[in-house]
Structure 1
């Protein structure tokens, strides 16, 4: 019989990796624990969901996680990250970004997620899953495959495992890059408008996927409402041209997200945290298209964020962009801007008496930078509550351990590699 998770933790990790050996008044908030409902993050550093595009596109293993996810996502937890978030995971087959993205609509996918969650727990970490529907950005090839064609994005055909006739959005006729399906230079399909029945089915599928996440042992469920994917498409007037109760004014455009949150919250334990990732702006305010149609912006984000605690949301995870090809910044290059905006939104929420936790992501590469994003300033104003790190973990899987040494925090290292632990410098 294999050893239990508890035995593995006791034998291999007598202390919790990535936590200070001593917490005192000088310990940066970045390395202090954070309790959210029934879970406690061992520090404030999380692995941002990053698409690996590495599941089978067809057959019984479609959308099923492979061991690669343990060696990548799990490795970051082994070296001290508090929470690892699995990438955008489709709640429906046509909700995947690419044919090679994970899903969570059947038992085989659920069992594979359990394997990942078990490994993360064996390393003293927490596992989250980002539930998603790509909407009009679905049925595309993985970026590496598109790059081989000399394109930044390429449509996935039926032969590629794609679903050209089942790409949906809040409104039809509006491909992400503005090109028609018969334009060979286009990288996205023109979606059809979702029916009311399909919206109701989608809400139910989000809840079912959340239940599967619970059964798989996941600790956090995050609802993906950012980066130009389906829920973001409903939120923004750029992409939502509906005339029914799911389109038009702010209250109607946020309706889908509100209903998804309510249904998910009702179907998972009260002890489980719910996060929501939002693009805090479309970066379209100063464009002619944005001035004509309106766009999702910082004010919209604050207005929505103030609604979230009453719906049972614990943390808003702030990113930006991704909803229009003419935006001033895209998902990848807006990070330097939106981390500062995230701090401003945190202060706005506090001023309104909101206890909503705030996380942010984007071009966070330096230890001092992460520390300062979380730390209270000289006037006692708190920073954001967590930072999520993506590409830097791909470059440097031991970022947590090295960051701690750089800012003078003596943290626990994995017993297996402690012999290479540097002597911490004085705090800076």
Structure 2
């Protein structure tokens, strides 16, 4: 009897040790709001094909919107202790469309991307970590930390200024440094998978964060090389799409064919335990060269954006934020937020956005480069938040939203 009890205790101890060496965590965020938007718009020919459509405002909308502040995601992450300070790591992360419960569908390939955000594996140690596979663009993380109270609707500066090559990097290898006396650096390279063209469609991105007392400095960079079509041919004047550049005949950075370089710089300072200020600067250098006639797609542009923001903790549960962003395309965005925490995992929020847009550089049926949307909304698949909703040129749009966020 004593031997049986001893064996059972030993087996339990072994099982506990094995469990401690390997772990898997399920996590996620759901953000849904009821949002009023005035001067909601539908671009002429939004169903179709021309990149020179003239957008028009259609009226006001009361809509259900998701990820106005936080991205709706679910994922699995885990690690295994390999000994000697070395760990195996992995991350799978996908989108949640809280409006209809669907997964993200790539409109170019028609593929349901269950783990569009992350699907990677790697190794980690005191030296940092290396990951291989689908993962986020490091520039996006830098852009999301420029001001104290940001969120998706403020991070729209990436799309308005056009300095981001996209949210995610496929076929990527990345390195994340450990904390080096307040400095963290990450770099990633995305292979083009073109045997006969080592540079076409490939991408590089990096970020750096430095904390010194109440000061945080941020930097980010990305570069996307010339896009290829599905046949593997490099983009040139002889094989340009004759319709909208978002045509299914194109892959990679379909909204901005050509070479794109972008960077962002920022500084945040904690003036007091409850008050923080921030400033960010973003720049895009998009060079289509001679291969991209303006009549076929977006014009060559060199854009600049500035953003300033304030954050104030009115109480342990209430966070207030005020932001202003402006581009050199005669467009600006005002954003005000109030976030109230009911618990560590559940939050209520109110958000107001005012987008004052100039002419911009209109290209495609749903986007005007250089212009802002008043709020980030899900319009990628049915049911859309606002049909054909766009950052309309020469229009002022206002949004007011009340939402709830839960983290699990």
TM bracket (short chain): 0.3 to 0.5
- Give the number of the structure whose residues are more often helix, by fraction: 1
Larger radius of gyration: 2
Which protein, 1 or 2, shows the higher relative CO under an 8 Å CA cutoff with sep ≥ 6?
2
The TM-score normalised by the length of structure 1 is 0.31
